[in-house]
Structure 1
Amino acid sequence: MNYETARKLLIDQAITTEENSDALLMRMQHGKPPVPGHVTSILLALKVVFEELKDATIIERELANSLYQLSIKSQQLFAAGRKAGIEWPPLLKEDLLRITIAVESIFSGDWQTLH
């Protein structure tokens, strides 16, 4: 995966419109878990974006907003879904934490891991 593909994938996953019904945030808004391989693709894209931007001093607004949305909104949707009684997949909470840590890594320029 190259940078442009990774960037587009991340931006697309944060879009919450009916035309983008398979986006991570859109699925979670509807109480649906990610499709198989979804989180893996997002994590790979985050790593590619990190490698490209680790020495950058600025990040373009559209990408920064998408990263923020994937990090914060996914956690909020997970919590709201759980409160509403949704049975999320067992590893989803940890996967969302990995996404958040990868986003933090992009913003800090220093790759971090879950453990």
Structure 2
Amino acid sequence: MDFDTAHQFLLQQTLSSTDDQRETFIACLRRGKPPLPGQVTSLILALKVLDDGLKDEPVLDRTLLKALLVLIDDSTHLYRQGVAEGVFWPPLLADDLTRLRQSARTIMTGQTN
């Protein structure tokens, strides 16, 4: 995955709001559905590519920051909301969300964990 593909994939999976994007990562969580197979793995890969490509950048654009915040805040909120509503999430989803949050924070802060 190259940098531009990773960037577009992250934006699509987190910020897309059109009806034809019902299978994006965040859309699935909003509906109380687990992510599609491979979605989390692809997001983790995209975040790694972005982190590598942005290591020397002193600033990040707002759209990218918004997408990272969606991964950090919204995914956690939607997961917890689902738990409270009795949604049966896949057993490893909580761990996957932790990895996504850590990767997103690394990009935002420019510091490795």
TM band (smaller chain): over 0.9
Equivalent residue for 2:111? 110
Mapping for residues 12-31 of structure 1, pairs under 5 Å: 12-14=12-14, 15-31=16-32
Mapping for residues 4-83 of structure 1, pairs under 5 Å: 4-14=4-14, 15-83=16-84
Q: Which runs of 5+ in 2 are unaligned?
A: none
The size of the alignment, in residue pairs, is: 112
TM-score by length of 2: 0.95
Q: Distance in 2 between matches of 1:105 and 1:99?
A: 10
Q: Distance in 2 between matches of 1:67 and 1:74?
A: 10
SS where residue 57 of structure 1 aligns?
A: coil
Q: Distance in 2 between matches of 1:18 and 1:90?
A: 28
Q: Distance in 2 between matches of 1:32 and 1:54?
A: 34
Shift in Å, 1:111: 2.5
Q: Distance in 1 between matches of 2:42 and 2:112?
A: 17
Q: Deviations over 1:82-106 (max 9, x none)?
A: 0000010000000001000000100
Q: Distance in 2 between matches of 1:79 and 1:16?
A: 21
Equivalent residue for 2:87? 86
Shift in Å, 1:70: 1.5
Backbone CA RMSD of aligned residues: 0.9
SS where residue 31 of structure 1 aligns?
A: coil
Shift in Å, 1:109: 1.3
Q: Distance in 2 between matches of 1:32 and 1:87?
A: 9
Q: Percent identity?
A: 37
Q: Distance in 1 between matches of 2:110 and 2:49?
A: 13
Q: Distance in 2 between matches of 1:37 and 1:19?
A: 19
SS where residue 56 of structure 2 aligns?
A: coil
8 A contact 1:13–1:23 mirrored in 2: yes
